[in-house]
Amino acid sequence: MTIADTEGERAIVAVLKKKFPEHGFIGEEGTQKKGDYTWIIDSVDGTYNFERGIPDWCVLVALLHKDTVVAGVYWAPVHKVLIHAEKGAGCFINGTRAVVSETSELSKAYIAFNMIDKFERAGLEKQLFKLARTKTLRNMDKWLSFPYFLQGKIDARIHGPPHFWDIAPFIVMTEEAGGVVADFNGKPATKDSKTFIFTNKQLLPTLVEYLHE
């Protein structure tokens, strides 16, 4: 945790409270106030990079209505990449509509995953390594991989157990870009899911076959 994490969260909450005083807030740095509408906030996603002067980090904000993510924002200020999505209104990257890939064959797929220790702690490393037969399987930070995924340059992003604020905005972004979000058993992902597959509809069945717990 850095001062930027805590002060960033405080600033975001202050702005949203003025506009939506009746809404709830859940922040990585400890803000907790639930409501029918709840803002999920990660003020610096990629703190380790931020601390070391690596420019690969972003701000993540999502809006949860009861159990459904209805809006999400990704802002990478160093790279000047803004992604926003609203349920039923599409997903846009710097103003251009986002569309996921149509790759359907695992042998042609480019798949990114989060930190290997997440899979190891959950006992899922064997499922992950099964995907080595893809065209390429790479560990890639989500603040880098999701913009590529939402442009169809990467075909899937898989996650071992994350914190919800780490992935909440990407749920609505993926859906609005024509993709699908499921757990490793192929069930529709929820805020309580422990594993996540972000991909296109064509590739999902094959990924579930390999990742099934």
Whether residue 27 sits in one domain with residue 59: yes
Range of the domain at 33: 3-97
Residue that is last in its domain, among 54, 74, 97: 97
Whether residue 62 sits in one domain with residue 155: no
Show Cβ contacts of residue 82 under 8 Å, excluding neighbours closer than 6 positions: 73, 74, 75, 76, 93, 94
What CATH number is given to the structural domain containing 188?
3.40.190.80
Report DSSP state, residue 58: E
Whether residue 90 sits in one domain with residue 116: no
Whether residue 170 sits in one domain with residue 114: yes
Whether residue 137 sits in one domain with residue 87: no
Mean pLDDT by 10 residues, the chain (213 residues): 79 92 81 81 85 90 94 95 98 98 93 82 80 79 91 94 88 98 94 93 94 79
Give the pLDDT of residue 165.
84
Give the pLDDT of residue 74.
97
Whether residue 93 sits in one domain with residue 9: yes
- 118: how many CB neighbours lie within 10 A of its CB? 17
Report residue 108 as tokens: 């042609």
Whether residue 110 sits in one domain with residue 93: no
Whether residue 118 sits in one domain with residue 53: no
CA dist., res. 37 & res. 113, Å (int): 30
Residue that is last in its domain, among 50, 70, 97: 97
156 and 109 Cβ atoms separated by less than 8 Å: yes
Give the pLDDT of residue 54.
87
Give the pLDDT of residue 167.
92
- DSSP per-residue codes, 27-53: ETTS-EE--SEEEEEEEEETHHHHHTT
Total of domains in the chain: 2
Q: What is the CA radius of gyration of the chain?
A: 17
